[in-house]
Amino acid sequence: MKENTNIFKALADKNRLRILKALQTKPLCVCEIRELLQLANSTVSEHLKILKESGFVIESKDGKWVNYFINPQPEDLRVTGILTSLDFWIGDEDMIILDKERIKSLDRNEICSIK
């Protein structure tokens, strides 16, 4: 029951759904997600933590960047099922369509303040 609750908790927030759809487009860092969603870094980090704990997202360090990806091989097959059906459920939402367009113009070198 706990695993089900974690999955439903991860999907119960529109910003986490937006993150999942954005990551289906391409890997992103926290700064890019922050820019896309117009949320604080700490809020984005909390959303990513929930998505990681439920198996939807993984991270990978690449030099000075930490990239977030859709988990290509979740242990829980229900996660795979949900990820493959996200387009059916929310792919035609105006916000999701706008996010997809905005992702194309995100440039981490411009928006991230890593020195």
Q: Is the pTM of this model over 0.85?
A: yes
DSSP 28: B
> Residue 30's pLDDT is what?
92
What do you get for the CA distance between the two ends of the chain, in Å?
44
Domain boundaries, the chain: 2-108
2-108 maps to CATH 1.10.3720.10: no
Q: How far is CA 43 from CA 49, 62, 63, 86, in A?
A: 10, 22, 23, 22
| Residue-wise pLDDT tens digits, 56-76 | 999 999 888 899 999 999 988
